[in-house]
Amino acid sequence: MDWYPLWNSLHIALISCAAVFFLGIFAAYYIAKLPRVLKGVLDVVLTLPMVLPPTVVGYFLLLLFGAKRPLGIFFMEHFGVKLVMNWYSAIFASIVVAFPLMYRTARGAFESFDETLAWSAQTLGLSNTWIFWRVRMPCCRQGILAGTVLAFARALGEYGATSMIAGYTPGKTATIATTVYQLWRTNDEAGAMQWVLVDIAISAVVLLAVNLLERRQKQGGKRT
């Protein structure tokens, strides 16, 4: 059994999750402070990929990164890098579809934060950066961790946008999701079932992690 789709999927999901972690926290922290109307507009824009069909997301990514598009042409001419139909092309798709989960979860955590803790720290002369990492983030860690796990799971299971922007090439761009489809399409149901079972096992672990985090968050709320 060729395990490349598993390692490639984990590789893509980990890189995407790391990017989404910082992007989601940054967006959630600053957007939570904006006026209601502006915050509502940005919410719609940033969470739209969560409700759009993945193929539509993939189509927009092709319009942005395609080989005949300005951005694609620029990277090809100046760096010799093709932004589509490579393994790292799937990272773009995974970031876009996983970002809304991280953003919404982190924003909810930040909005539930007791601002009196930050004000108290400010009276002691502590910087906003210190307060953010040493006060706000620890208090919101359960929500942040839950968002991170969900974003990782979404990136790991991405298919629609990935198939459009990265395609399927065994040993180069294949992921678990695209491999299952290709094996089914070629009537290799036994091979497809093997990868389905692998995906189910990984998904079960992720869901157990989310449930554990939610349980700890509820227990922490009861203690306070």
Mean pLDDT split into 10-residue runs, the chain, 224 residues: 89 94 92 86 90 91 89 87 90 94 90 86 86 88 86 90 91 91 91 91 84 71 56
In the three-class reduction of DSSP (H, G, I as helix; E, B as strand; rest coil), residue 14 is classed as helix
- Which residue do the tokens 């992921």 mark? 175
Collapse the DSSP code of 76 into the 3-class scheme (helix H, G, I; strand E, B; otherwise coil) and give the result.
helix
8 A C-beta contact, residue 174 and residue 5: yes
pLDDT at 143: 84
Q: Model-level pTM?
A: 0.86
> Tokens 């306070």 belong to which residue?
224
What SS3 state is found at 85? coil
Question: Contact, 184 vs 192, CB < 8 A?
Answer: yes
Q: Tell me how far the alpha carbon of residue 212 is from its chain's centroid.
A: 20
* Residues 224, 216: Cα–Cα separation, whole Å: 12
Q: Helices (DSSP H) in 32-175: which residue ranges?
A: 36-51, 54-65, 70-79, 89-111, 115-123, 128-131, 137-139, 141-156, 160-165
| Residue-level pLDDT at 222 | 58
pLDDT for the residue numbered 76: 86
Give the contacts of 17 (CB within 8 A, at least 6 positions apart): 98, 148, 151, 152, 155
User: Cβ of 68: how many Cβ atoms within 10 Å?
Assistant: 8
